[in-house]
């Protein structure tokens, strides 16, 4: 088999980080291949551990075997699903129940404000393609950042303006740091990149940080002031208490706000691939052009299956959210009981956890000549030797020169690269309890608490 290509690959694509999940999967495969006595605890990719509701599975079977679902659908989704989803959002966000500042009741969301995509990654990519011309655009993103968002930046030749977050603030991005970026960009000459959007993920991936409705008001005002889009990735919206924000009650929200969502987490059907975009119909019209070239339509059977079920699934969503919050508490209890480990922030699907500082220099215990271990080393040892699959913090941060060039509060700590992301929602309480002995074992392997031996190269 010949290996060379006679044509070239676009430099922006070769410069993009390779997908990180397969790397974690390889560790899992290696662990499983070594016939471990302990089952693998997979807390890596954010995948709901519970199966979809029985009613959802039954409806999926029905819709999938209906020849009518096998035909093409509308570019922006089945109208029935868009209507149903608008109603869900009106309920969840309490749209129209409060009066806006002008004293008028705000208008409710309708199907015309909603587009359906083949997952939320697609929703984000479509939006970047529609709003950010390559080579002349920048986007504000808190750091740590969801890796696929960072990858899209490189792939689309859009400059990420990272806002490093401090663990002490629970990884909340500083609005004044964002303002500085926007002010600086405003003062710059033509030819430099122009900010087009602020992208916030709340509840956050990877840190689990949940931004309050009050904070989001401030971010909205900032975006509006600088005439950039405020893009909220609300994939994990079903796992917060109360309305995630009140921005849909603003009369002018359609001028500035775009809210992205997913059916993967709340309804637990990532393999069926459905996401959503809430935006002005004026924007959706342009997004439809991109979507037509990308998906023609999102897969129809899950759209048809869910359209009539959504209201009946509210109880299940709430139950999942309550169970997950209780699991978060259990998780904190377990982690806190392990010497040197610390939960730095948590919420939604994830907990962001600091492994013991000692690990950074405890590498002699691994029989390798290394002075310092980063999060990827630690995640690898934890998976290969203890059967606990997590994602290292390094997957959510730029590396090398890009990391060195970062400025601002939180930057130094990000460079310390000492966190792991645990996807709590992937597993049940029993699995969380099993983490205790596994992390104790890890401490043993890493020689935690023993005298530190620094090995020179």
CB of 102 to a copy of itself, least distance (A): 12
The single residue among 244, 299, 408, 447 that binds a copy of itself, judged by CB under 8 A, is 299
Judged by DSSP in three states, 19 sits in coil
The single residue among 38, 57, 319, 322 that binds a copy of itself, judged by CB under 8 A, is 57
CB of 220 to a copy of itself, least distance (A): 11
Between 279 and 414, CB nearer to a copy of itself: 279
Measure CA 275 to chain center: 13
Q: What is the DSSP string of 291-313?
A: HHHHTSS--HHHHHHHHTTGGGG
Q: Give the x-and-dash track for 175-214 against a copy of itself (CB under 8 A).
A: ---------------------xx-----------------
**Taking CB under 8 A as the rule, does residue 18 contact a copy of itself?**
yes
**Taking CB under 8 A as the rule, does residue 133 contact a copy of itself?**
yes
CB of 360 to a copy of itself, least distance (A): 30
**Taking CB under 8 A as the rule, does residue 111 contact a copy of itself?**
no
Burial 407-416 (b: 16+ CB within 10 A, else e): ebebbebbee
Between 19 and 339, CB nearer to a copy of itself: 19
Judged by DSSP in three states, 399 sits in coil
CB of 442 to a copy of itself, least distance (A): 26
The count of chain residues that interact with a copy of itself, using the rule CB under 8 A, is: 97
| DSSP annotation of 29 | H
**Taking CB under 8 A as the rule, does residue 413 contact a copy of itself?**
no
- Stretch binding a copy of itself (CB under 8 A), from 95-103, 130-138, 164-172, 308-316: 130-138
Helices 429-445 and 314-336 cross at an angle (nearest 10°) of 30
- Stretch binding a copy of itself (CB under 8 A), from 272-280, 367-375, 387-395, 412-420: 272-280
Q: Where are the alpha helices (DSSP H) in 69-171?
A: 79-92, 120-131, 147-155
- Stretch binding a copy of itself (CB under 8 A), from 286-294, 346-354, 386-394, 408-416: 286-294
Between 274 and 446, CB nearer to a copy of itself: 274
CB of 151 to a copy of itself, least distance (A): 5
Rounded distance, CA 382 to CA 165, Å?
26
**Taking CB under 8 A as the rule, does residue 47 contact a copy of itself?**
yes
Closest CA to 266 of 17, 56, 32, 1: 56
Q: Between the CA atoms of 270, 273, 278 and 281, what dihedral angle is there, to the nearest 10 degrees?
A: 180
- Stretch binding a copy of itself (CB under 8 A), from 30-38, 178-186, 274-282, 415-423: 274-282
Q: Between the CA atoms of 304, 310, 316 and 320, what dihedral angle is there, to the nearest 10 degrees?
A: 80
- Stretch binding a copy of itself (CB under 8 A), from 176-184, 300-308, 323-331, 412-420: 300-308
- Stretch binding a copy of itself (CB under 8 A), from 60-68, 235-243, 376-384, 416-424: 60-68
| DSSP annotation of 66 | -
Secondary structure string (H, E, C) spanning 235-281: CCHHHCCCCCCCHHHCCCHHHHEEEEEECCCCCCCHHHCCEEEECCH
Give CA separation, 108 vs 105, 213, 254, 298, in Å: 9, 18, 12, 25
Q: Give the x-and-dash track for 143-162 against a copy of itself (CB under 8 A).
A: -----x--xx--x-x-----
Positions 228 through 267 that interact with a copy of itself (CB under 8 A): 228-229, 251-252, 254-256
The single residue among 10, 322, 405, 454 that binds a copy of itself, judged by CB under 8 A, is 10
Quick one: CA dihedral 224, 257, 325, 419, positive or negative?
Answer: negative
The single residue among 6, 104, 400, 456 that binds a copy of itself, judged by CB under 8 A, is 6
The single residue among 64, 100, 325, 342 that binds a copy of itself, judged by CB under 8 A, is 64
Q: Where are the alpha helices (DSSP H) in 105-248?
A: 120-131, 147-155, 175-187, 213-225
CB of 409 to a copy of itself, least distance (A): 28
CB of 333 to a copy of itself, least distance (A): 28
Beta strands in 282-405 (DSSP E): 342-347, 350-354, 388-389, 391-392
CB of 362 to a copy of itself, least distance (A): 33
Between 246 and 300, CB nearer to a copy of itself: 300
Strands 159-164 vs 137-143: parallel, antiparallel or unpaired: parallel
The single residue among 84, 114, 116, 125 that binds a copy of itself, judged by CB under 8 A, is 125
Give CA separation, 231 vs 21, 219, 224, 288, 393, in Å: 24, 10, 12, 17, 23
The single residue among 164, 170, 244, 301 that binds a copy of itself, judged by CB under 8 A, is 301
Helices 375-386 and 429-445 cross at an angle (nearest 10°) of 110
């Amino acid at each position: 088999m010949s290996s060379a290509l006679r044509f070239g690959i676009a430099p922006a694509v070769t410069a993009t980080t390779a997908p990180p999940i397969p790397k974690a999967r390889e560790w899992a495969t290696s662990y499983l291949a070594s016939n471990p006595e302990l089952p693998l605890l997979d807390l890596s990719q954010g995948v709901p551990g519970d199966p979809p509701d029985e009613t959802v599975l039954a409806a999926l079977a029905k819709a999938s075997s209906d020849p009518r679902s096998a035909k093409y659908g509308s570019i922006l989704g089945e109208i029935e699903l868009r209507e149903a989803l608008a109603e869900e959002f009106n309920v969840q966000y309490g749209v129209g129940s409060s009066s806006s500042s002008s004293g008028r009741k705000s208008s409710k969301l309708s199907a015309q404000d909603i587009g359906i995509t083949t997952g939320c990654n697609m929703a984000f990519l479509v939006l970047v393609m529609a709003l950010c011309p390559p080579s002349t655009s920048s986007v504000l993103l808190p750091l740590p950042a969801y890796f696929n968002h960072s990858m899209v930046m490189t792939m689309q030749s859009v400059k990420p303006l990272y806002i490093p977050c401090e663990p002490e603030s629970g990884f909340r991005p500083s609005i004044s740091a964002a303002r500085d970026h926007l002010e600086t960009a405003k003062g710059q000459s033509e030819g430099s990149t122009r900010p087009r959007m602020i992208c916030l993920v709340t509840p956050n991936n990877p840190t689990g940080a949940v931004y309050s409705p009050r904070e989001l008001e401030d971010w909205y005002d900032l975006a509006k002031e600088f005439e950039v889009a405020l893009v909220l990735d609300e994939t994990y919206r079903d796992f917060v208490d109360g309305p995630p924000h009140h921005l849909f009650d603003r009369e002018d929200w359609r001028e500035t706000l775009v809210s992205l969502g997913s059916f993967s987490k709340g309804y637990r059907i990532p393999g069926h691939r459905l996401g959503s975009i809430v935006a002005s119909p004026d924007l959706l019209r342009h997004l439809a052009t991109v979507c037509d070239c990308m998906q023609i339509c999102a897969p129809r059977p899950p759209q048809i299956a869910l359209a009539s079920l959504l209201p009946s699934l509210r109880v299940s969503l709430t139950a999942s959210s309550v169970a997950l919050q209780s699991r978060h508490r259990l998780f904190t209890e377990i982690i806190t009981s392990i010497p040197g480990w610390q939960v730095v922030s948590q919420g939604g699907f994830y907990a962001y956890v600091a492994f013991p500082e000692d690990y950074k220099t405890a590498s002699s215990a691994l029989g390798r000549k290394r002075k310092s271990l980063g999060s990827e080393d630690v995640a690898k040892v934890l998976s290969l030797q203890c059967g606990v699959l997590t994602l290292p913090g390094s997957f959510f941060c730029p590396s090398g020169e890009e990391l060195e060039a970062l400025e601002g509060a939180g930057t130094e700590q990000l460079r310390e690269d000492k966190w792991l992301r645990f996807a709590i929602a992937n597993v049940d309480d029993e699995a969380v309890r099993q983490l205790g002995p596994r992390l104790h074992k890890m401490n043993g392997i890493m020689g935690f608490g023993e005298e530190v031996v620094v090995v020179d190269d």
